[in-house]
Amino acid sequence: MAHLRQDQRRTMETLFEGRPALPSALHTYNEFYLGEGRVPLHFLGISEGFGTCSRIHGVDVAVFGLKPFEQQTALRNFAHAFLLRPALPEEMTEYQRLHDMAVGVVERLLFCSMNCTKAYFKLSGFKATYVIRGM
């Protein structure tokens, strides 16, 4: 996934080491929601588990956001799912706030249920922040 950088991937990896993988059929669904269908999740791409951006090889991760992004990658089987979003002020350090730094959050999503073409996730509470560096 070209727009997922190394710092984002490595931040994600700290949150899924040793965690069980998601059901393998999730990639066949075309609608994803947070909670009970009230908040749509937008598929951003797959972070592939290979190369220098990955410390844990062979683990593909689906990345979702709260806003749509031009899809660059087809959805395929994935072992874990994460929400990628900007940090809230209370999630930032005082230094980051004082220096007006751009900070992102990755949070592991937990699978809840699926029906027809929809899959439902909830926030796990397992999240980490990273400083968004220049593109």
* Chain segment 120-135, per-residue pLDDT in tens: 999 988 888 888 875 4
* Chain segment 6-42, per-residue pLDDT in tens: 666 677 776 666 666 677 677 777 788 888 778 999 9
Round to whole Å and give the CA distance between 97 and 135.
20
Angle at 54 between CA 52 and CA 55, to 5 degrees: 105
- Cβ atoms of 27 and 21 within 8 Å: the answer is no
- pTM here? 0.77
Which neighbouring-strand residues pair with 114?
119
Round to whole Å and give the CA distance between 22 and 29.
13
* Chain segment 92-121, per-residue pLDDT in tens: 889 888 888 888 888 989 888 888 888 899
- The residues, any chain, with a CB within 8 Å of residue 94's CB and separated by 6 or more, are none
Round to whole Å and give the CA distance between 106 and 49.
16
Q: Domain spans of the chain? A: 6-84+105-127
